[in-house]
Structure 1
Amino acid sequence: MALAISTGKVDITPPVGSIMAGYGVDTPRVATGVNRPLRARCTIFWDDGWPNAIVTVDTLAFGRSLHINIRDRVAAIGIPQGDFVLSTSHTHSGPATTEKLDPFIAYNANATHRTQISNLSTALADKIVQLVQDTYNATRVPCTLDYKVTTQNWSYNREGMSYRETDVPVLVARNSSGAPLAVLFSYGCHPVAGGSQTLLDPDYPGAAADRIESSTGALAQFILGPCGDQNPDGVFSLSYVDQLGQNLATAVTTAMATPGRALAGPILTGYSTVNLPLDITPTPGNMQVVKNIYQQRQQNYPSGYHRRHAQTMIQQIDSNTFATSVPLPIQVWKLSGAPGLRMVFSGGEVVSGFAVYMRSLYGGSSRLLYSTCCHETLCYIPSDELLRRGESYAGGFDADHPGIAGGSMTVYGYLGHFRGKPTASSPNGVEQIYINAVRSLLGTP
Structure 2
Amino acid sequence: MAGISRRNILRGGMLAATALFTTRLAGTSAARAAEAPLAVAYNELELTGDLRQFPSWWMGGYGWNPRGCAGPGDIARHLKAHCMVIHDNGVPNVLLRLDIISIPRDVHQEIRRRVVDEEGLVAAEDFMIVTSHTHNGLFVGDTHPDPVLVLGVNDADVDAINGTTFVLMDMLVELVRRTVQETPIPATLWYDEGYEEIGFNRAGLDHVMTDVPVLLARNADDGTPLAVLFGYACHPVARPRDEKIDSDYAGLAADLIADRLGIMALYFQGCAGDQNPAEGVTLADAGRKIADTVVEVIERDQFTQVTGPFQNAMTEVELLFNRDLTDPDEVAALAERYEARLAAPGTQEQAKRHARLVLDQIENDTLPTSIPMPIQRWRLGGLTILGLSHEVLSTYHVLLKDVAADLGLGHLWIMAYVGETQCYVGADDALRAGGYEVGWENGEDDIVKHDGASVSYGWPLPLRYSPDGVDPAAPDSAEGIVMKACTELLRP
Greater Cα shift, 354-363 or 2-11: 354-363
* 1:254 and 2:292 are equivalent in the alignment: no
2:309 counterpart residue number: 266
Corresponding residue of 2:360? 315
Helix, strand or coil for the counterpart of 1:143? strand
Q: 2:441 aligns with which of 398, 401, 406?
A: 398
What residue is the counterpart of 2:484 in the other structure? 436
Q: In the alignment, what sits opposite 1:192?
A: 237
Match of 1:91 in 2: 134
Contact 2:136 2:245 in 1 (8 A): yes
Cα deviation, residue 281, structure 1: 3.1
Structure 2: how far apart are the matches of 1:365 and 1:173? 21
Amino acid at match of 2:234: C
Point out where structure 2 has 5 or more consecutive residues left out of the alignment.
1-35
* Alignment check: 8 A CA contact 2:60 2:136 kept: yes
Alignment partner of 1:342 out of 379, 384, 391 = 384
Residues of 2 paired with 1:182 and 1:315: CA distance?
A: 49
After superposition, the C-alpha distances for 1:280-333 in whole angstroms (9 at most, x for unaligned) are 333444323322221232243543322211111111111121111111110011
User: Displacement of 1:427 after TM fit?
Assistant: 5.4
- Residue 39 of structure 1 corresponds to 80
Distance 2:168 2:462 in 1: 30
Q: Which amino acid aligns with 1:232?
A: P
Per-residue deviation, residues 119-164 of structure 1 (Å, max 9, x unmatched): 1011111100000011012231011111111011111111111111
- Verify the 8 A CA contact 1:278 1:325 in the aligned structure 2: yes
Counterpart of 2:194 in structure 1 is 150
1:188/1:227 contact within 8 Å kept: yes
TM-score (norm: length of structure 2): 0.85
Q: Please state how far the C-alpha of 1:400 moved relative to its aligned partner.
A: 6.1
CA–CA separation in structure 1 for the residues paired with 2:226 and 2:410: 21
- Indicate the residue corresponding to 2:11 in structure 1: none
Q: 1:224 and 2:266 equivalent?
A: no
Cα 1:61/1:382, change in 2 over 3 Å = same
Letter of the 2:200 counterpart: Y
Q: Which amino acid aligns with 1:396?
A: G
Q: Secondary structure at the match of 1:52?
A: strand
Residue in structure 2 matching 1:18, options 54, 57, 67: 57
CA contact (8 A) 1:189 1:225 kept: yes
- The CA deviation at 1:6 is 0.4
Paired residue secondary structure (2:238): coil
Partner Cα separation in structure 2 for residue 2 and residue 305 of structure 1: 54
2:361 counterpart letter in structure 1: Q
| TM alignment of 1:115-264, pairs within 5 A | 115-175=159-219, 176-235=221-280, 240-259=282-301, 260-264=303-307
Q: 2:425 aligns with which of 364, 375, 381?
A: 381
Distance 1:365 1:181, change over 3 A: farther
Mean alpha-carbon deviation: is it higher for 102-111 or for 70-79?
A: 70-79
Contact 1:61 1:100 in 2 (8 A): no
Check conservation: 1:210, 1:220, Cα contact below 8 A. Answer: yes
State how 1:321-336 maps to structure 2 within 5 Å: 321-336=366-381
SS in 1 for 2:279: coil
Matched, 1:411 2:456: yes
CA-atom RMSD in angstroms? 1.8
Rounded to whole Å, the distance in 2 between the matches of 1:441 and 1:427 is 17
In structure 1, the residue corresponding to 2:310 is in which secondary structure? Answer: strand
Cα offset, 1:250, TM superposition: 1.3
% identical aligned pairs: 32
Partner of 1:64: 105
The answer on whether the counterparts of 1:77 and 1:133 sit within 8 Å (CA) in structure 2 is: no
User: Is the Cα–Cα contact under 8 Å of residues 227 and 352 in structure 1 kept in the other structure?
Assistant: yes
- Provide the C-alpha distance between the structure 2 equivalents of 1:111 and 1:224, rounded to a whole number of angstroms: 32
| Equivalences for residues 42-57 of structure 1 within 5 A | 42-57=83-98
Query: TM-score under structure 1 normalisation?
Result: 0.94
Distance in 1, matches of 2:195 and 2:145, equals 31
The counterpart of 2:396, out of the listed 331, 340, 354, is 354
1:325-368 deviation digits (Å, cap 9, x = unpaired): 111110011111xxx11111110111111110111221399611
Contact 1:149–1:366, Cα closer than 8 Å, also in 2: no
Cα separation, 1, equivalents of 2:423 and 2:114: 24
Q: Measure the CA separation in 1 of the matches of 2:328 and 2:218.
A: 61
SS at match of 1:18: coil
Corresponding residue for 2:14?
Answer: none
For 2:83, what is the secondary structure of its paired residue?
A: strand
Rounded Cα–Cα distance in structure 1 between residues aligned with 2:124 and 2:284: 35
Contact 1:174 1:182 in 2 (8 A): yes
Look up the SS of the partner of 1:199 in the other structure.
coil
